[in-house]
Amino acid sequence: MKIDAHQFALQLIAGISQLEGETGERYIKRALTLYLEAFFLIEDFDQLESGQFKNMKKHEINDLVSRLISARLI
């Protein structure tokens, strides 16, 4: 599974609104900070998820090969 980091971050910042008394500049900086944090968090998550999937597949293949070798030797 891969999450689109850009779309995720956009959806996240779409839910925030300017606080009472907050300047436009401060609001934009807060929204940009949230966007960037979300974007890079999802990028990291996708890489971790991809790595876990590859490791799991590798482990399953090794397990299957081991079982085939064991069955052949018995």
Which tens digit of pLDDT belongs to each residue from 5-62? 999 999 999 999 999 999 999 999 999 999 999 999 998 888 887 777 667 677 777 7
> Is the whole model's pTM more than 0.85, yes or no?
no
Unique residue bearing structure tokens 């299957």: 64
Residues 46 and 4 sit within 8 Å (Cβ to Cβ): no
pLDDT at 67 over 80: no
Q: How far apart are CA 26 and CA 18, in angstroms?
A: 9
What sign does the CA torsion over 26, 30, 36, 39 have?
A: negative
